[in-house]
């Protein structure tokens, strides 16, 4: 007995848009989901550091170079449930255990139709693993940097359904990101994470019921003495669905909650990097996200329609101590509020002969309310600041159009246009933060970002080789950007002293970002044993700062590489052995809005050998960053760079049954 998750089948409209699907086999070529996704053209993590060493607040994901952000500009879902953090919008990738994911679909381009708020540049939609009762799996990885990772899962029969129990944990001693100029204050980027999940599926007639609960925790050393983070949380969802049939519409209904709590400390580093002083202690950030959605889909001989509704809300508060005087934090801050979005949508698709046409629209309301920023002296409790922004909101339309035609048996052409929006997160609206010597102010007056885009694409098959090419144009209106206001040293009346080498920034809606470019993928088997693949993303992106930030006009958006090229070769000399290699080149990017902190391009290579001595058993060895490339991930402003991990070697195994052993 195998019960599938409560999802509607893929929509025929998908064929008109830029979509890449990854199988479970492809996902398991790396230990972390974000590392796999980074090899897809157009997918960009906020910074170059993967979830092995990245602070939670910098684990956002965006598509198509419109500008990186710690608050994701892409929506990430698991069986339809959003995975973006309710407070900051980032994604805790370590909670998404690859062993529990059967496939992933990357939709490049603003989401409309069933995808509402947050799908500004696209969607990364994942589907959970389904297995019959009695199946089990165990895996482990061990390697350089003190890496030790293990996980397991068991599926059992439970009443009229199946219950899957899973757990995973990981430890890494990490690496010290600063090399040249390193001092006693520099430490390793360490990681400890753990995750546990329950997933119950049952079949009632033609409908599927789906209940899921997960809990996670991760702890990180931030690379500096006294700087570390801890995030924990849980999520729960209930879903039900019935697939459509001719004459009988299908439907899906879903509700979910997600809680998270981030603790994070920041330090100020001395000029000689021999010491670090505590500058901020974000000791708690309790947040709760919630939502519900429903859809009705009908199918005919040549047409499909879908109508639906979805709502999402979040409430959270930042609790921290700041304003260091001689190493003592003298002030307390409580800052937070609530956000809400909700909308109705409809989409229809018509197929005729070799042609497909689709059109959809949404109408969403958004609002922020109950905001507060309260600051007081730790010693006496005397209040020093009391800010309460007025409640705000509005209504935004969005939609998408697409068409595709098959030009013979092996070639197709498509075109699409779309709009989308992303409302600011609680973190952007209400929480100031400090990173090193830089202070970034929040802005409760932020408005939603809007994206307008269009694309054309073609693809096909020549012999056994497949190819796709897509050209796109995106205009991001009112992007939320960290704008540099002044550089230290000086005394700010609200944030206090900004030291030399530091800067005061504020999140602002800044003009627009225009991005256009080209994406291409090709895969060609050379015989039955050798496979090759190639992918390219070429993006030209520029900021128009408008009247708010004219100094940014003509600049490249922060953390936006212009060129990414990936390639791979896989050779299976015998049925039980696969040897593979991968190469990734990324062009330069800038670590600041004014393009003064340049991170040079980098080339990363890897080799992997996997041996499968019998069914249900695999052993592998992998060398990542094979050439030991110095991959710059950040620059402090005084010439000191931080770098990604050096060459690492990992060995691992996986076992599954009962058929395998």
Buried b (16+ CB within 10 A) or exposed e, 11-24: bbbbbbbbbbebee
**For residue 436, what pLDDT is reported?**
64
Rg (CA), the chain: 25
Q: What is d(CA 333, CA 321) in angstroms, rounded to the nearest whole number?
A: 6
Lowest mean pLDDT among 2-16, 452-466, 626-640: 2-16
Q: Measured in whole angstroms, how far is the alpha carbon of residue 21 from the centre of its chain?
A: 16
Torsion from C-alpha of 651, 104, 74, 513, nearest 10 degrees = 90
pLDDT exceeds cutoff 90 at 26: no
Give the rounded percent of residues in the chain with a pLDDT score beyond 70: 98
**For residue 515, what pLDDT is reported?**
93
Q: What is d(CA 528, CA 493) in angstroms, rounded to the nearest whole number?
A: 69
Q: What is d(CA 106, CA 64) in angstroms, rounded to the nearest whole number?
A: 12
Higher pLDDT, 436 or 507: 507
Torsion angles phi and psi, residue 595, rounded to 5: 65, 35
Please give the structure tokens belonging to residue 104.
């992933």
pLDDT exceeds cutoff 50 at 660: no
Residues in the chain: 661
pLDDT exceeds cutoff 60 at 79: yes
Query: Which pLDDT tens digit goes with each residue over 351-386?
Result: 999 999 999 999 999 999 999 999 999 999 999 999
Lowest mean pLDDT among 5-14, 176-185, 327-336, 525-534: 5-14
Please give the structure tokens belonging to residue 263.
């603790």
Torsion angles phi and psi, residue 270, rounded to 5: -65, 155
Query: Which pLDDT tens digit goes with each residue over 565-613?
Result: 999 999 999 999 999 999 999 999 998 888 989 999 999 999 999 999 9
Please give the structure tokens belonging to residue 33.
């989901």
Query: Which pLDDT tens digit goes with each residue over 540-553?
Result: 999 999 888 898 99
**For residue 360, what pLDDT is reported?**
94
Buried b (16+ CB within 10 A) or exposed e, 354-390: eebbbbbbbebebbbeebebbbbeeeeeeeeeeeebe
Question: Helix (H, G, I), strand (E, B), or coil: what is residue 206?
Answer: coil
Q: Domains along the chain?
A: 12-657 (2.40.170.20)
Determine contact, residues 488/437, Cβ cutoff 8 Å.
yes
DSSP conformation letters of 450-499? EEEEEEEEEEEEETTEEEEEEEEEEEEES-EEEEEEEESSEEETTTEEE-
**Helices marked H in 32-173 — which ranges?**
33-37
Bridge pairing between strands 122-128 and 136-143: unpaired
Determine contact, residues 611/575, Cβ cutoff 8 Å.
no
Determine contact, residues 276/268, Cβ cutoff 8 Å.
yes
Q: What is d(CA 20, CA 26) in angstroms, rounded to the nearest whole number?
A: 12
**For residue 160, what pLDDT is reported?**
86
pLDDT exceeds cutoff 60 at 8: yes
Determine contact, residues 638/593, Cβ cutoff 8 Å.
no
Please give the structure tokens belonging to residue 110.
């603003």
Sign of CA dihedral 48, 51, 53, 55: positive
Q: Considering the chain, what is the average pLDDT of its residues?
A: 91
Query: Which pLDDT tens digit goes with each residue over 386-411?
Result: 999 999 999 999 999 999 999 988 89
Quickly count: other Cβ atoms within 10 Å of residue 248's Cβ. 11
pLDDT exceeds cutoff 80 at 511: yes
Q: How confident is the model at residue 661 (pLDDT cuts 50, 70, 90)?
A: very low
Question: Helix (H, G, I), strand (E, B), or coil: what is residue 485?
Answer: strand
Q: What is d(CA 235, CA 197) in angstroms, rounded to the nearest whole number?
A: 9
Q: Measured in whole angstroms, how far is the alpha carbon of residue 627 from the centre of its chain?
A: 27
Number of H helices, E strands in the chain: 3, 41
How many CA atoms lie within 13 Å of 148's alpha carbon, on the beta-carbon side?
4
Instruction: Pick from 119-123, 243-247, 259-263 the range whose average pLDDT is largest.
Output: 259-263
Query: Which pLDDT tens digit goes with each residue over 33-59?
Result: 888 888 887 888 877 888 899 888 888
Q: What is d(CA 38, CA 174) in angstroms, rounded to the nearest whole number?
A: 20
Q: How confident is the model at residue 643 (pLDDT cuts 50, 70, 90)?
A: very high
Secondary element (H or E) of residue 427: helix 426-430
Q: How confident is the model at residue 659 (pLDDT cuts 50, 70, 90)?
A: very low
Q: How confident is the model at residue 68 (pLDDT cuts 50, 70, 90)?
A: low
Q: Measured in whole angstroms, how far is the alpha carbon of residue 461 from the centre of its chain?
A: 31
Secondary element (H or E) of residue 429: helix 426-430
Q: How confident is the model at residue 484 (pLDDT cuts 50, 70, 90)?
A: confident
Determine contact, residues 314/320, Cβ cutoff 8 Å.
no
Give the rounded percent of residues in the chain with a pLDDT score beyond 90: 70
**For residue 205, what pLDDT is reported?**
85
Q: What is d(CA 473, CA 451) in angstroms, rounded to the nearest whole number?
A: 10
**For residue 47, what pLDDT is reported?**
79
**For residue 3, what pLDDT is reported?**
65
Q: What is d(CA 439, CA 435) in angstroms, rounded to the nearest whole number?
A: 7
| DSSP percent split of the chain into helix, strand, coil, nearest 5 | 5, 60, 35
Lowest mean pLDDT among 191-205, 433-447, 572-586, 616-630: 433-447
pTM across the whole model: 0.93
Higher pLDDT, 79 or 636: 79
Please give the structure tokens belonging to residue 374.
């309260």
């Amino acid at each position: 007995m195998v019960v599938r998750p409560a999802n509607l089948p893929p929509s025929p409209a998908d064929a008109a848009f830029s979509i890449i699907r990854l199988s479970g086999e492809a996902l398991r070529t790396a230990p972390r989901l974000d590392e796999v996704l980074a090899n897809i053209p157009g997918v960009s993590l906020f910074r170059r550091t993967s979830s092995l060493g990245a602070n939670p607040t910098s684990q956002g994901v965006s598509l198509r170079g419109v500008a990186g952000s710690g608050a994701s500009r892409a929506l990430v879902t698991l069986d339809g449930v959003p995975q973006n953090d309710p407070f900051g919008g980032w994604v805790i990738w370590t909670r998404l255990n690859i062993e529990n994911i059967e496939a992933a679909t990357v939709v490049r381009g603003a989401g409309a139709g069933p995808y509402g708020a947050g799908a500004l540049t696209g969607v990364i939609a994942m589907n959970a693993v389904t297995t019959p009762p009695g199946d089990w799996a165990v895996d482990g990885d061990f390697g350089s940097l003190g890496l030790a990772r293990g996980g397991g899962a068991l599926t059992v029969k439970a009443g009229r359904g199946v219950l899957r129990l899973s757990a995973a944990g990981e430890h890494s001693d990490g690496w010290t990101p600063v090399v040249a100029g390193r001092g006693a204050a520099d430490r390793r980027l360490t990681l400890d994470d753990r995750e546990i999940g329950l997933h119950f599926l049952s079949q009632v007639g033609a409908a599927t019921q789906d209940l899921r609960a997960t809990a996670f925790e991760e702890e990180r050393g931030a690379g500096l003495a006294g700087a570390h983070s801890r995030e924990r949380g849980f999520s729960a969802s209930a879903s039900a669905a019935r697939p459509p049939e001719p004459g009988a519409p299908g439907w899906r209904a879903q509700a979910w909650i997600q809680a998270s709590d981030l603790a994070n400390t920041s330090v100020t580093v001395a000029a000689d990097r021999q010491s670090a002083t505590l500058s901020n202690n974000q000791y708690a950030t309790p947040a709760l996200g919630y939502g519900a959605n429903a859809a009705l889909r009908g199918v005919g001989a040549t047409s499909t329609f879908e109508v639906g509704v979805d709502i999402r809300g979040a409430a959270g508060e930042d609790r921290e101590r700041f304003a260091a005087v001689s190493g003592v934090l003298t002030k307390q801050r409580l800052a937070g509020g609530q956000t809400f979005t909700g909308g109705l949508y409809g989409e229809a698709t018509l197929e005729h002969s070799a042609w497909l046409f689709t059109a959809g629209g949404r109408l969403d309301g958004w609002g922020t309310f109950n905001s507060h920023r309260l600051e007081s002296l730790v010693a006496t409790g005397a209040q020093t600041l009391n800010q309460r922004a007025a409640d705000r909101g509005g209504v935004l339309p969005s939609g998408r159009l697409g068409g595709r035609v098959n030009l013979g048996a092996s070639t197709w052409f498509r075109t699409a246009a779309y709009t989308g929006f992303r409302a600011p997160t609680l973190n952007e609206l209400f929480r100031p933060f400090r990173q090193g010597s830089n202070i970034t102010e929040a802005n409760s007056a932020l408005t939603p970002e809007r994206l307008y885009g269009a694309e054309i694409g073609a693809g096909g098959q020549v012999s056994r080789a497949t190819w796709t090419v897509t050209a796109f144009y995106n205009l991001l209106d009112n992007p939320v950007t960290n704008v540099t206001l002044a550089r230290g040293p000086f005394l700010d009346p609200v944030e206090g002293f900004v030291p030399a080498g530091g800067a005061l920034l504020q999140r602002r809606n800044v003009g627009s970002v225009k991005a256009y470019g080209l994406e291409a993928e090709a895969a060609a088997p050379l015989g039955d044993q050798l496979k090759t693949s190639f992918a390219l993303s070429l993006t030209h992106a520029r900021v128009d700062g408008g009247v708010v930030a004219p100094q940014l006009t003509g600049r490249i958006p922060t953390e936006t590489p212009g060129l990414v090229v990936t390639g791979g070769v896989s050779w299976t000399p015998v049925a039980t052995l696969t040897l593979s290699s991968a190469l990734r080149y990324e062009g330069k990017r800038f670590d600041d809005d004014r393009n003064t902190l340049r991170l040079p391009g980098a080339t990363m290579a890897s080799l992997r050998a996997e041996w499968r001595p019998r069914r249900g058993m695999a052993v592998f060895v992998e060398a990542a960053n094979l050439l030991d490339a110095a991959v710059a991930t950040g620059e402090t402003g005084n010439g000191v760079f931080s770098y990604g991990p050096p060459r690492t070697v990992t060995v691992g195994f996986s076992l599954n049954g009962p058929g395998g052993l």
